[in-house]
A = this chain, B = another copy of it.
Amino acid sequence: MYFRWTLRSLVSRSRTRAYGLHGGRFFSAACSGAPSTRNPAKIPKVLACRESYFWGTCGFHDIRYQIHQDNSSREEPLDPFALVADELSMLADRLRSMVVAEVPKLSSAAEYFFKVGVEGKRFRPTVLLLMASALNMPIPEAAASGAYNNFSKDLRARQQCIAEITEMIHVASLLHDDVLDDANTRRGIGSLNFVMGNKLAVLAGDFLLSRACVALASLKNTEVVSLLATTVEHLVTGETMQMTTKSEQRRSMDYYLQKTYYKTASLISSSCKAIALLAGHTAEVSKLAYDYGRNLGLAFQLVDDILDFTGTSASLGKGSLSDIRHGIVTAPILFAMEEFPELHVVVDRGFDDPANVDVALQYLGKSQGIERTRELAAEHANYAAEAIEALPESDDEAVLVSRRALVDLTHRVITRTK
């Protein structure tokens, strides 16, 4: 049994880049993460199958997955979220129980974004559970001691805990960000500050941070505690960088990328690394896990910056324009400024005046700003995929399918339209 999988994405106009990809059989069932009991003899062709895909020039929505199995040929989308759906659901239940507070009002505030229906895309826990499976390889020491199966079961619970902690930190930062931005809505409902007031939103954020820290401590791995606690500092640093940008910083791509790393990529990259550390992997493997998260996070945010201008269409001005209206200069404008230095003056004037937003959009339209941002996003998506490819080989089907799903996520991230 083998499959062929090709993808044409929207990304690079000029780049036609092909690289190998570990194949794996597609499972729609939740990935248990336990060592596969399937007969490895059945999957030699899978291991031999390294398919190529292309960063094409087509527009949004132009993404195809073609899976050819044996002598049948059918198109079937790979759904990384479906792979871990059952586990995500269990994790969501546990998260709800983890944020119960002694005071009912605090419970209501803390669980606000963990309630069924407003949990968001659960992008981070999906990545982390897939990463846990993708790294599910016997660690020599543990294997030698014969304790692999028990170690593995306990390990999975601890890795799930990383996913829960990551969600708590993420939601805490959302709650505080919404207070800072005086936001009215989030995930299609009223923001917590809007519904329950700033005070409870600040307190609920603090509460989630403390619960996250207590949960971290329970993992009894101080490197992991330090790693994830630092992500909170990074979230704050990124937010402050955005709030306190000087004129020359607003023109700097380096500053923008550093801020983006802190605000978006630090949490997922450190959490991915934590997944590897808990499993006892080498520094090299942990670094690959980190690299995956970092580049996926950066790609995600770059596309977010595009969507702020385009929305679900490909046309400029169809997005919410939320960033630019708040005076936040992102990659598309930064690239446009490189082409049209006169845009600097426009940016320096700020965007309180809607007419100035229109002028900036005109420059952006004339420039390659959107395309170059897409290219940059694609480049980071590539790096993320390469990190997965560089992982030590495995002949475990569940491992392979999880790796494939992680690579698939890199495409989803750059081809998403919302």
Q: Which residues of A contact B (CB under 8 A)?
A: 101-103, 105-106, 176, 179-180, 198-200, 202-203, 205-207, 209-211, 213-214, 216-220, 222-223, 225-226, 229-230, 232-233, 235-237, 239-241, 243-244
CB nearest neighbor in B for A227: B217
State A237–B106 Cα separation when bound (angstroms).
7
Given B106, B210, B222, B243, which contacts A232 in the complex, CB threshold below 8 Å? B210
State A216–B210 Cα separation when bound (angstroms).
13
Copies in the complex: 2
Given B105, B207, B230, which contacts A210 in the complex, CB threshold below 8 Å? B230
Q: Which residues of B contact A218 (CB under 8 A)?
A: 222, 226
Given B101, B222, B240, which contacts A237 in the complex, CB threshold below 8 Å? B101
State A222–B218 Cα separation when bound (angstroms).
7
Could you list 8 A-B pairs, sorted by A, with CB under 8 Å? Answer: A106-B237, A176-B202, A199-B243, A210-B232, A210-B236, A214-B233, A217-B226, A222-B222
* Cβ B229 vs Cβ A213 within 8 A: yes
Question: Can you add 17 more A-B contacts, CB < 8 Å, to A180-B199, A207-B233?
Answer: A101-B240, A103-B237, A106-B237, A106-B240, A200-B243, A203-B240, A203-B243, A206-B232, A207-B236, A209-B209, A209-B210, A210-B236, A213-B216, A213-B229, A213-B232, A217-B222, A225-B225
* Cβ B236 vs Cβ A206 within 8 A: yes
List 7 A-B pairs, minimum CB-CB distance, nearest first. A213-B229, A210-B232, A217-B225, A217-B226, A210-B233, A105-B244, A106-B240
State A223–B235 Cα separation when bound (angstroms).
26
Given the contacts A106-B240, A237-B103, A225 and B206 also touching, CB distance less than 8 Å: no
Q: Which residues of B contact A101 (CB under 8 A)?
A: 233, 237, 240
